[in-house]
């Protein structure tokens, strides 16, 4: 069945460029599946613009018609050649990452418009976007997470207090952002002060957590009519001068990390991680898809690091790579995502 799909990408968050890369992967898959795709680029000011067919293959038209969504109706409207045009759509496919897209805001707008939207609900998206709230819920369900505390630039704890609670090697992160934007590894007081101020540029709430020494292992989750499917695992190893898988290692330095799928772990460890990933998906109230990131320590402890409700679909993103290893081509994966979205 052919669907009229609004592919929404870009956005106001610091992950704007990553979102565009994800959309460039999802768009051709949707076209190959026979759907009609309406490309909507949200610029950095938050303005929605209707892009011409195939716009993702070239430069984004920053002067394209402004889009309006008619609340309560599945209608996109915009000015085209001096006349008002209306397009009826069946579903919103957000290729968005971070605030104002992955955090429940777009999901709430879609719900008010009675529009199916790929991904988790307003609540699940909002919960999983906040690293502090996520940790509290996971801990309640007895899923191991790294010890942490929260801060803001105005309530910055003393360095010695942080060391006494979390150790002298920590990570400072914006509570509601992904793609390692604003994340710093800290080992002294001066770094700590600067990292808090840097993270505060992106989010009022800041998470400070203990550094966990271990292998970085990831697992994808896909919801189907038959139940949750956990992907093969993937492993990320930072290379060169990268102490962790930071933004530069992910997207700018082609030799910044080694990505291995499937990860070289025992069957027992694989099954344990997959089961914990499924449990986290359920306890956070997620839907359709997610990528769950873990640390695997030398003594075999599995510690959940982060949860992503709209995982990246760039050329180097682990979610599609892990499912490709699990027998899901990109087209099959996107088709399964749409099927679950439209099943409600």
> In order of start, what are the domains of the chain with their CATH numbers?
4-118 (3.40.50.20), 127-144+213-343 (3.30.470.20), 148-210 (3.30.1490.20)
Structure tokens at 295: 């640390």
Helix (H, G, I), strand (E, B), or coil: what is residue 344? coil
CB 120 within 8 A of CB 164: no
| Alpha carbons 170 and 172: distance in angstroms, whole number | 7
- 21-60: b or e for each residue (b if 16 or more CB lie within 10 Å)? bbbbbbbbbbbebebebbbbbbbeeeebbbbeeebbeeeb
pLDDT along the chain (344 residues), means of 10: 93 90 94 95 92 67 85 83 84 94 94 94 96 96 97 87 95 80 88 90 91 96 97 86 53 66 97 98 98 96 96 92 97 98 90
Predicted TM-score (pTM) of the model is 0.91
Angle, helices 122-129/105-112, rounded to nearest 10 degrees: 170
| Longest alpha-carbon distance in the chain | 66
| Alpha carbons 49 and 69: distance in angstroms, whole number | 11
Q: State the first-to-last Cα distance of the chain, in angstroms, to the nearest integer.
A: 16
């Amino acid at each position: 069945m052919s669907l009229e799909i609004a592919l929404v990408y870009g956005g106001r968050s610091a992950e704007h460029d990553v979102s565009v890369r994800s959309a460039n992967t999802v768009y051709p898959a949707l076209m190959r599946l026979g759907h009609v795709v309406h490309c909507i680029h949200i610029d950095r000011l938050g303005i929605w613009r209707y892009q011409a067919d195939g716009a993702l293959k070239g430069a984004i038209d920053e002067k394209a018609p402004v889009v309006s969504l008619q609340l309560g109706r599945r209608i996109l409207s915009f000015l085209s050649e001096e006349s008002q045009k209306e397009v009826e759509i069946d579903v919103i496919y957000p290729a968005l990452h971070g605030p104002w897209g992955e955090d429940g805001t777009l999901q709430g707008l879609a719900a008010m418009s009675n529009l199916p939207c790929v991904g988790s609900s307003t609540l699940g998206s909002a919960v999983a976007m906040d690293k502090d709230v996520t940790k509290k819920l996971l801990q309640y369900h007895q899923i191991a997470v790294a010890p942490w505390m929260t801060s803001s630039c105005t309530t910055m704890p003393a360095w010695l207090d942080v060391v006494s609670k979390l150790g002298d090697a920590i990570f400072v992160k914006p509570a509601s952002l992904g793609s390692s934007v604003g994340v710093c590894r800290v080992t002294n007081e001066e770094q700590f002060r600067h990292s808090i101020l840097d993270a505060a540029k992106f989010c009022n709430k800041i998470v400070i957590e203990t550094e966990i020494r271990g292998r970085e292992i990831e697992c994808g989750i896909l919801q189907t009519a038959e139940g949750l499917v956990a992907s093969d695992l993937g492993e990320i190893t930072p290379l060169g001068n990268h102490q962790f898988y930071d933004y530069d290692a992910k997207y700018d330095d082609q030799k910044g990390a080694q990505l291995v799928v499937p990860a070289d772990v025992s069957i027992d460890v694989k099954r344990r991680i997959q089961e914990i990933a499924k449990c986290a998906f359920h306890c956070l109230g997620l839907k359709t898809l997610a990528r769950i990131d873990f640390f695997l320590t030398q003594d075999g402890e599995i510690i959940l690091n982060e949860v992503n409700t709209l995982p990246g679909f760039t050329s180097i993103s682990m979610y599609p790579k892990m499912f490709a290893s699990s027998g899901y081509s990109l087209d099959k994966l996107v088709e399964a995502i749409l099927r679950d979205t439209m099943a409600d």
